[in-house]
Amino acid sequence: MNIALYKKCVIVCIREEAVNQRFRMAKKLLVDVDCGVDDAQAIMMALAVPDVQILGVTCVHGNTTTENVCKNVLRVLKACCKLEIPVFRGASKPILGITRNASYFHGVDGLGDAPDPEAPGLDMVQKEGAVSAMIRIATEHPGEFSTLNTCVRREKKVLSCVMARGNTTVCGEFNFVSDPEAAYIVLNDYLCPVYITSWEFTCRHKLPWEFCDEWLSQDNEKAKFMKRIFQHSMNEAYSPQSEKELVDGFGFVSCDSYAMAAAVDDSFVTEYEQVAVTVELAGTCTRGMMVLDTLELLNKKHKAFLLKRVDMDKFKSLLINALK
C-alpha cells in the first residue's frame, strides 16, 4: 500500500510489564509525517510523554519534498537528543494528480527556512524504505499495529482533514487535497476504528497567541529551536492580510498536535460524533472533500468518530511539556 496513505503519524501500542510488576499499557509509535512545523510540534509532544516510545519516523511528501521532510525530522530528533530513532524515506508524490506543498506557511524547506549549518545529513536516513519498515514493524507486533491520519493509536486511526470548508481549495483541506485517492482508501478500506480531527475542529479549538508567546519563551534549547522554525509561520498568521485570519480569527493552531494528543492521552477527547464518511474524487470544486453520510445513504457499516470537544487544559500541558 502506498505510504502516502497517510502523511502523519502511525502509533503502535503494546502491553509491557510496569516497574511496579503490574501490567500496564505502554504506547510505542511509528510516526509517519510530511514534516512541517506542526509535525515537528507533534513529534516533540510525543517524545515528552512518559511511557511513549517512538520506534521510527517515516517521511513522505506534503508540506515540502520528501528529502526536506527527512532532513527536518532529523533536525527535530537532534533538538530532542533522540537521533537514535530511525528515520525512513517514503513516497515522493501522490497516487494521482499534482504534487502540492505548503511553503507559504511552513517555508520552502518546511521548517521556516531557518538556517541550520549543523543539521544532520541525509546519510543518517535508513537504507530500508518506509513501506518495508512499516510492514516489518507490523509483522514484529502482530495485531498491535494501527494507523492514524495524523497519528495512530492501538486499534484507532486519527485523521486530520476537512468536512466542507477548505483551507487549500474551496472545499478541500491540504492533506486530503494533496492525495485524495490515498485518503479515500484510508476511509473506505481501513476497518479499524477511525478518529478524525477536521480542519473545522481545529479552528474551533484555537489557543490565544499570548499562550504561544509564553510557550516559546521557555528558557531552554528546545524552545529556542521551536521559536526559530516557527517564526515564518507566525509572521504569516499574524499578517492582517492573511485570508485565513480574516475568516477564522486570530489564534494559534497546531493541527497535527491535536491528533497526537488524542493518540497519547485517552482522556483528551471529551465528545465525538459517529458517522460514515468518504472522500469526493471527481468534483470540480469538491475533489478531496470529506463527505459525511448523515442520511446513511452509503449503507456503510463502518463509521468514523469525529472529534467535537477536547480538554484544552491537557492540550496546553502537552504542548508546554514538549518544549521542557
DSSP string, 229-268: HHHHHHHHHH-TT-HHHHHH-S-B--HHHHHHHHHH-TTS
State residue 195's pLDDT score: 85
Read off the pLDDT of residues 87-113 as tens digits, 9 standing for 90 and up.
999 999 999 988 999 999 999 999 999
- Cα(45)–Cα(257) distance, rounded to whole angstroms? 7
Q: How far is CA 18 from CA 24, 25, 179, 266, 287, in A?
A: 6, 9, 41, 19, 47
Sheet order of strands, 10-17 included:
10-17, 23-33, 52-59, 87-89
CB 287 within 8 A of CB 172: yes
Asked whether residue 125 carries a pLDDT value surpassing 90, the answer given is: yes
Residue 64 CB-half CA count within 13 A: 23
State residue 139's pLDDT score: 84
List the single range of 67-71, 134-138, 148-152, 168-172 with lowest mean pLDDT.
148-152
Q: How buried is residue 272: exposed, middle or buried, by Cβ count under 10 Å (0-12/13-18/19+)? A: middle
Enumerate the β-bridge partners of residue 157.
Answer: 152, 194
- Band of residue 158 on the pLDDT scale cut at 50, 70, 90: low
What are the φ/ψ torsions at residue 295 (nearest 5 degrees)?
A: -90, -5
In the chain, count of helices (H) and strands (E)? Answer: 12, 10
Largest CA distance in the chain: 58
Q: How far is CA 195 from CA 86, 159, 288, in A?
A: 27, 6, 18
68: helix, strand or coil: helix
Read off the pLDDT of residues 246-298 as tens digits, 9 standing for 90 and up.
444 568 999 999 989 998 888 999 999 999 999 999 989 999 999 999 999 99
Domain residue limits, the chain = 3-322
Read off the pLDDT of residues 185-229 as tens digits, 9 standing for 90 and up.
989 988 878 888 898 899 899 999 899 999 999 999 999 999 999
CB 150 within 8 A of CB 197: yes
List the single range of 72-86, 149-163, 220-234, 281-295 with lowest mean pLDDT.
149-163
- Band of residue 243 on the pLDDT scale cut at 50, 70, 90: very low
How do beta strands 52-59 and 290-293 pair?
A: unpaired
Q: Which of 160, 184, 195 lies closest to 1, judged by CA? A: 184
pTM over 0.75: yes
Q: Which fold has domain 3-322?
A: Inosine-uridine Nucleoside N-ribohydrolase; Chain A (3.90.245)
